[in-house]
């Protein structure tokens, strides 16, 4: 798995993960939300290496 984006909130990361999942791209959210004890706000969205470009293109669509 490779990190393709970092988010400041878990909600933003989860919304991106759901969008990728709907397109058939496995994704996972890792990290600790800032609001949680010891958190730094670094929530990462990860996908398998081979889906990196496809996932980034999908997330860049507006």
Q: Which two tokens stand for residue 56?
A: 């980034």
Q: Are 5 and 46 in contact (CB under 8 A)?
A: no
Q: How far is CA 12 from CA 7, 20, 50, in A?
A: 6, 13, 23
Instruction: Express each pLDDT in 25-37 by its tens digit.
Output: 999 999 865 555 4
Number of domains in the chain: 1
Q: Which residue range(s) make up the domain with 55?
A: 2-60
Instruction: Express each pLDDT in 51-62 by its tens digit.
Output: 999 999 999 985
Cα separation, 6 vs 13, whole angstroms: 8
The model's pTM is 0.81
Output the domain CATH number for residue 56: 3.30.70.1530
């Amino acid at each position: 798995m490779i990190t393709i984006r970092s988010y400041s909130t878990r909600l933003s990361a989860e919304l991106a993960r759901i969008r990728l999942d709907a397109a058939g791209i496995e994704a996972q959210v890792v990290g600790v939300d800032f609001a949680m004890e010891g958190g730094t706000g670094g929530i990462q969205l990860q996908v398998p290496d081979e889906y990196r470009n496809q996932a980034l293109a999908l997330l860049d669509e507006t």
